[in-house]
Amino acid sequence: MKYFLKELILYALFSSAAVFAQFDSTETATEEVIDDLLEEPSEEIDNSDLYEVFEDLHRNPVDINSAGVSDFQRIPLLNFSDINKIISHREKYGRFFSTSELYSVQGIQAGTIRKILPFVKIIPQNKSGISGPAKNVLGAFYFNPGLEVRSRTAKDLQPKDGFVNNKFEGSAYKVYNRLLGKVNENLRFGLLTEKDAGEKPLNEFTSLYLEAKNMGAVKKLIIGDYSLEFGQGLALWSPFSFSKGTDAVFPVKKNGRGISPFKSTDENRFFRGAASQINLNFMNASVFYSRNYFDAGLDSASRSILSMPIDGLHRTDSELEKRKSAVESFYGLNIDKEWNESIKTGLLFYYSIFSNPFLPSSAFELSGKDFRYYSVYFDLIFPSINLFGEAAYNGTSVASTAGIIFSPEKNFSFAVSLRNYPANYFNLHGFGFGESPATQNEFGFYTGIKWNTSIGTINFYYDQFKFPYATYYNPLPTQGEELLLGISSTPFSSLDTRIRYKYEKKNISEAINNLTSVIDRLRQSIRAEMSYRIKKYITLKGRFEYNKFNIRDAGQSEEGILVYQEIKFNAARWLSLTGRMILFKTDSFNSAVYEYESGLNGILYNPALYGEGLRWYAVVKVKPVHILIISFKYAETYKPEEKTLGSGYSTINGNLDNNFILQVDLSL
């Protein structure tokens, strides 16, 4: 393997001597948006599916000459005030002839424009003066083919308990392959296969879709795997979404993509069948049908559904027994209408039937096998105010949310959101804004402010929430509050700085003197970060973070510290090198620290770092020709005081955890 990698890298280096291709700005812009938009969650999760949102926006950028407010709101970091400035500039001076002209729009920071440029475009006018190329009704009789291939192989180098004790049937390699193609802009297709470490077949998970657009009244047709996003996510949304983050305003309002192809590796939470969006002149109608198998733990006697694992792991006999053991049949209709550029309303209905009934363990869990959902949503846009909301009914109760984004002047945006998700509002396909993605048993009030000042951009939010009934982790009602204050500034063009303070207080259930009591858990953290660009070749980035975890009534008080330094070196037009070293020390897992790792396109990972140790990684990217990127990442975590790492089947007998990832991206 070492010899193969050495030969591959040497070949790439020498073959690129004649043909150079500069790395484009998409990856850099995506990483900067992630830094600005997402805060590291307080648990280890793989957010790679969110990366697809950015990549999809890059493939389908917003046309700044025809976009309305709703279209612009798809772009991260572009607030309501900035959108109004762009539209006003367009109305006053006419069409943009280049996306770089956005720099001439008064009142928008140059740093914001730089970060959003990969997500916007200009569609040139044809000879008739109409934007875009002239097409026939079917839009499929001309050719403008394209192909994107991504192949990734990853392996943990230290043997884990599941492999040592022969609990897993497959190899230790994790393999991912994806092909996205198009005949033209209106006819696209995709194929994805994945195998997790420990699974046997290379195509253990397979996903496929065919997408056709602009066929007369049929604006979009997808056959195969797809996802649905409507309203504010109370009734239907994809399995991934933005939530509370360092941008205090953008995540509050969801901007659904409607029907979209499924390109993720989530093996259970998608639809498989057909969906279509039809333009009826006076309204848009989206119809969808799906029949999809999913993982489920079944009761041996009644065959009722006891659990629905979503990790997609099928390595052991027990995991394989749950694999695709139940099926959901699903169909529905969404109707929305834009009355003018200021008013949009929608109605949604869907019916879901499961092959096996759910066996609830409490009064507020799913029960039965067939469910109907109804939803109504609205979006009202005025010059400086945006009102939006949704109410959804599941046959038992109504979940609702409403919000307002207000920009009274060009540098200030204010957001307020109220949510009420009853305990008996159960929904497997919802993902509303809030503390929990379950969109159930939660009442909350959120306030956010984003203010561009002479010293930088200030983001502040305060969220109060409560869970009126018992949850899985807490047998009693609980509540909490969360506050974040962040200041980001660019003192000069090559230096970015960020300071953030976060306060989070939540009720938890804890056994004290053999009695279960509801007590406060307090977590506070402060972070300082600096990024410095040395010319165009080197970027230095450093962070210091301190957090404090406290449960006063239980006598627990813990601390955690993280320090890292990163260097990114564009060594040549065809070669990029990135390295990061992280030092961490925490009292236990409770005070763990997290950091999103830059690296390979399509991966967004934040490992939980706890105890005392060192983590470092290095990424090498080679672009021998403009159509090909070869990427390699090596990472290791070392904890000198530990004798074993991990738990369960992931236990490592030693204090070193290291792995590698090799990825190839080909664009034709």
- Each residue of 575-590: pLDDT tens digit? 999 999 999 999 998 8
- Higher per-residue pLDDT: 286 or 605: 286
Residue 48 lies in a domain: no
Same domain, 383 and 501: no
Confidence (pLDDT) at 22: 46
- H helix runs in 96-217, sequence order: 110-116, 161-164
Do residues 372 and 348 make contact, with C-beta atoms less than 8 angstroms apart?
Answer: no
Residue 598 lies in a domain: no
Do residues 328 and 292 make contact, with C-beta atoms less than 8 angstroms apart?
Answer: yes
Residue 486 lies in a domain: yes
- Higher per-residue pLDDT: 393 or 360: 393
Q: What is the DSSP letter of 29?
A: H
Domain boundary among 524, 554, 584: 554
Residue 20 and residue 33: Cα distance in Å, rounded? 27
Average pLDDT score, the chain: 86
Range name among 2-11, 45-54, 269-278 with the lowest pLDDT average: 2-11
Residue 319 burial class via C-beta count within 10 angstroms: exposed 0-12, middle 13-18, buried 19 and up: buried
Same domain, 289 and 237: yes
Asked whether residue 600 carries a pLDDT value surpassing 70, the answer given is: yes
Q: DSSP characters for 526-549?
A: EEEEEEEEETTTEEEEEEEEEEEE
Confidence (pLDDT) at 35: 67
Residue 322 lies in a domain: yes
Same domain, 436 and 531: no
Same domain, 336 and 237: yes
Same domain, 229 and 298: yes
SS3 assignment, position 114: helix
Q: What is the DSSP letter of 35?
A: H
Asked whether the CA dihedral 287, 289, 294, 300 is positive or negative, the reply is positive
Residue 115 lies in a domain: yes
In the chain, what's the furthest Cα-to-Cα distance? 81
Spell out the residues 6+ positions from residue 565 whose beta carbon is closer than 8 angstroms to its own: 540, 541, 542, 580, 581
Residue 438 lies in a domain: yes
- Please give the C-alpha separations between residue 338 and each of 281, 342, 404, in angstroms, as whole numbers: 10, 8, 19
Asked whether residue 296 carries a pLDDT value surpassing 90, the answer given is: yes
Q: Spell out a b/e string for 628-644, using b for 16 or more CB atoms within 10 Å of the CB, else e.
A: bbbbbbbbbbebeebee
Same domain, 306 and 233: yes
Asked whether residue 18 carries a pLDDT value surpassing 90, the answer given is: no
Q: What is the DSSP letter of 122?
A: -
Same domain, 225 and 110: no
- Taking residues 12-17, what's their average pLDDT? 36
Amino acid at 8: L
Same domain, 427 and 523: no
Same domain, 390 and 325: yes
Asked whether residue 21 carries a pLDDT value surpassing 60, the answer given is: no
Q: What is the pLDDT of residues 408-443, one digit of tens each?
A: 887 888 999 999 999 999 899 999 999 887 899 999
Confidence (pLDDT) at 452: 86
* DSSP H or E segment with residue 6: helix 2-15
Domain range holding 351? 212-445
Asked whether residue 129 carries a pLDDT value surpassing 70, the answer given is: no
Confidence (pLDDT) at 91: 85
Residue 146 lies in a domain: no
Distance of CA 451 to the CA centre of its chain: 25
Domain boundary among 530, 554, 578: 554
Give the residue from 451, 467, 547 showing the smallest Cα distance to 508. 467
Domain boundary among 517, 536, 554: 554
Pairing of strands 608-609, 593-594: antiparallel
- Taking residues 165-171, what's their average pLDDT? 91
Q: What is the pLDDT of residues 62-72, one digit of tens each?
A: 898 888 877 88
Residue 95 and residue 90: Cα distance in Å, rounded? 6
- Taking residues 379-407, what's their average pLDDT? 93
Same domain, 470 and 432: no
Same domain, 348 and 392: yes
Q: What is the pLDDT of residues 488-525, one digit of tens each?
A: 998 888 898 999 999 999 988 776 777 777 888 999 99
Q: How confident is the model at residue 108 (pLDDT cuts 50, 70, 90)?
A: confident
Residue 69 lies in a domain: yes
- Taking residues 107-130, what's their average pLDDT? 73
Confidence (pLDDT) at 436: 82
Q: Which residues pair with 292 in a beta bridge?
A: 328
Residue 249 and residue 447: Cα distance in Å, rounded? 9
What's the structural domain count of the chain? 3
Same domain, 232 and 90: no
